[in-house]
Amino acid sequence: MESGVLIEVSGGRIASLQADSAPGDAVVLDGLVIPGLANAHSHAFHRALRGATQLGGGTFWTWRETMYRVAAALTPDEYLELARAVYAEMALAGITCVGEFHYLHHAPGGVTYDDPNAMGEALIEAAAQAGIRITLLDTCYLSSGFGAPPDETQLRFSDGSGEAWAERVSGLKERDHARVGAAVHSVRAVPADQLGVIGAWAAQRNAPIHAHVSEQPAENEGCLAAYGVTPTRLLADRGLLGPRTTAVHATHLTSEDIALLGGSATTVCMCPTTERDLADGIGPAREVQDAGSPLSLGSDSQAVIDLFEEARAMELNERLRTRRRGHWTADALLRAATVDGHASLGWPEAGTLEVGALADLVTISLDSVRTAGSLGSVRTAGSFDSGRTAGPLHGAETAVFAATSADVSDVVAGGRVIVRRGVHQLVPDVAGALRQALARVAS
Ligand SMILES: [Zn+2]
């Protein structure tokens, strides 16, 4: 880490990095500067459940009933307003790119909107208004479980067949801030004979493909009963694993599953704050990475939106399980939150501070009550110029193990300042925007 680094930006990308430069008229980023964070797994509308689902007990399945009540009512206009506020909350947390795992496609009863992609377009527009990039992981969801027809709420999710899903998704256009990927909701929701269609669509476009995998033991049991194999084995047999693929959660795996994911270089996206909130269990993150899988991180159900918390939770879960410390370095955890997360969303040019990379810069204040005294680590600033204080080098450790999203002071996405001194430049009152959007959804 270095201090006083001048970062010049051209065309949204880092044009040069010069140490020991005078800041001149550059915007000074005073704190620890890291690359933009990638939130690799998000369901924006789940933000409406925060708090409300913390009453009483239950399981993943009882939580899902509450989630479905929100899903049943949302309109494209409401979703734009809600997602704009949620993505602004993400921006304040240092997230410059979101992977939106999007399955709420149709009007109640499964009626197609005039624009069949009205809901997806609302999400793409919301990201633009919040100043962040999005990979819309358009999700195929056809069945309430292993071929059974969708229930009332799930009619909003279903296109009827893999082919109809592909036809609709092909109507989505990519933009500077938006790319389109594919998702299989789960092997519960997409019958085995439809998986190949989704894989082929993504392969043709070299697009990312994501899938919820083995979040619940019940999914494994259902898959074994229906097909005689685990979900991971089924995805492997249908040609869906590989470097463009991300398995989300991957909580309950066999040793063969771990070998299949690692051996195919499939990314595994851990969502520890959601997995613990829903009492899912602890996934074998260290083992899949040792087997060859890159790791990424996601806020998923938006129980909280804080990728530092996701990163440290992955390490701390492993400590509790093994009663040993130090399974990942802070740098390795930040790698999951940055470069590997961006790669899993189809943005390989993001997530690093090097010439040619997208100019996504996140500044973590080193003088908050949580971070003060971590000794400077580095203060970086850029055409953007990183600050002046050289110092001890525990910046990454402080960020991962003590900082929270509240310590993010400045955020630059693609060379554009979207957060300055804790204030979103496009959505000045994010709390107010959330309050208003959530009240509308609740009414
Ligand atoms: Zn999810």
- Are residues 363 and 410 in contact, defined by beta-carbon separation less than 8 angstroms? yes
At 391, is the pLDDT very low, low, confident or very high (cuts 50, 70, 90)?
very low
* Cα 368 to middle of ligand 1, angstroms: 32
**The predicted structure's pLDDT at residue 394:** 76
- pLDDT the model gives residue 389: 44
Report helix, strand or coil for 218.
helix
Amino acid (1-letter code) at residue 122: A
Q: How far is CA 331 from each of CA 31, 65, 264, 301, 316, rounded to the nearest angstrom?
A: 17, 38, 24, 25, 15
pLDDT score for 376: 47
State residue 385's pLDDT score.
Answer: 56
Model confidence at 61: pLDDT above 90: no
Residue 428 has pLDDT above 70, yes or no: yes
CA proximity to 399, closest of 28, 93, 38: 93
CA triple 415-378-424, angle to 5 deg: 40
In the predicted structure, residue 390 carries a pLDDT above the cut 90: no
Cα–ligand 1 centroid distance for 212 (angstroms): 6
Min mean pLDDT across 105-114, 270-279, 335-344, 364-373 is at 364-373
One DSSP character per residue, 26-44 reads SEEE-SEEEEPEEEEEE-G
Q: What is the rounded distance in angstroms from the CA atom of residue 248 to the CA atom of residue 267?
A: 8
Instruction: Report the alpha-carbon distance of residue 410 to residue 6 in Å, rounded.
Output: 16
Residue-level pLDDT at 392: 42
Say what the pLDDT of residue 306 is. Answer: 98
3-state SS assignment for residue 287: helix
The pLDDT tens digits for 238-264 are: 999 999 999 999 999 999 999 999 999
pLDDT band at 442 (very low <50, low <70, confident <90, very high): confident
Query: What separation in Å is there between the alpha carbon of 302 and the centre of ligand 1?
Result: 10
The gap between the terminal CA atoms of the chain, to the nearest Å, is 50
Reported as a single tens digit per residue, the pLDDT across 120-152 is: 999 999 999 999 999 999 999 999 999 999 999
Ligand 1 centre to CA of 136 (Å) is 13
422: its two tokens: 């804790």
Quickly tell me which residue has 């084995």 as its tokens: 233
pLDDT band at 406, cuts 50/70/90?
very high
The H or E element that residue 1 is part of is: none
pLDDT tens profile 257-286: 999 999 999 999 999 999 999 999 999 999
Q: For residue 101, report the distance from its CA to the centre of ligand 1, in Å.
A: 7
Residues 270/285, Cβ–Cβ less than 8 Å:
yes
User: What residues act catalytically?
Assistant: 249, 300
Alpha helices in 278-365 (DSSP H): 285-291, 307-322, 330-337, 339-344
| Burial (CB count <10 Å: 0-12, 13-18, 19+), residue 289 | buried
pLDDT at 187: 98
Query: Are 137 and 210 within 8 A, CB to CB?
Result: yes
Please determine, for residue 62, whether its predicted confidence score (pLDDT) is greater than 90.
Answer: no
Q: How confident is the model at residue 379 (pLDDT cuts 50, 70, 90)?
A: very low
Q: How far is the CA of 138 from the centre of ligand 1 (A)?
A: 12
Average pLDDT over residues 342-366: 97
Q: Is residue 388 very low, low, confident or very high in pLDDT (cuts 50, 70, 90)?
A: very low
Report the distance separating Cα 330 and Cα 100, nearest Å. Answer: 26
Of residues 35 and 55, the one with the higher pLDDT is 35
Q: H or E stretch including 400?
A: helix 395-401
State the chain's mean pLDDT as an integer.
93
Give strand ranges (E) for 11-94. 13-18, 27-29, 32-35, 37-42
Give 399's pLDDT tier (boundaries 50, 70, 90): confident
How far from 31 is each of 307, 310, 316, 339, 361, CA to CA, in Å?
A: 18, 21, 25, 20, 11
- Residue 408 Cα to ligand 1 midpoint, Å, equals 25
Encoded amino acid at 36, one letter: G
Q: Which pLDDT tens digit goes with each residue over 67-90?
A: 888 888 899 999 999 999 999 999
Looking at residue 63, what is its pLDDT?
81
Helix, strand or coil, per DSSP, at residue 211: strand
Reduced to 3 states (helix: H, G, I; strand: E, B; else coil), residue 177 is: coil
The percent of residues in the chain predicted with pLDDT above 70, rounded, is: 95
Closest CA to 289 of 281, 300, 297: 297
According to DSSP, residue 407 is labeled G
42 alpha carbon – ligand 1 mean position (Å): 7
Look at the block and give the residue holding tokens 């300042």: 417
- Percentage of residues of the chain with pLDDT beyond 90: 83
Contacts of 205 (CB under 8 A, 6+ apart): 180
Using a 10 angstrom Cβ sphere, with 0-12 exposed, 13-18 middle and 19 or more buried, the burial of residue 24 is: exposed
Give the three-state DSSP class for 155. helix
Q: Output the CA 271–ligand 1 centroid distance in Å.
A: 8
- Phi, psi torsion values for 79, nearest 5 degrees: -70, -35
pLDDT at 383: 57
Supply the pLDDT for residue 40. 98
Cβ-contact 386, 380 below 8 angstroms: yes
Q: Helix 330-337 and helix 307-322: axis angle, to 10°?
A: 130
Centre of ligand 1 to C-alpha 395, Å, is: 31
State phi, psi for 373 to the nearest 5 degrees.
Answer: 90, 0
Q: Does position 333 have pLDDT exceeding 90, yes or no?
A: yes
Distance CA 35, CA 7 (A): 12
Bridge partners, 267 (sequence order):
246
Give 205's DSSP letter.
H
Q: Which residue has the tokens 């269609």?
A: 197
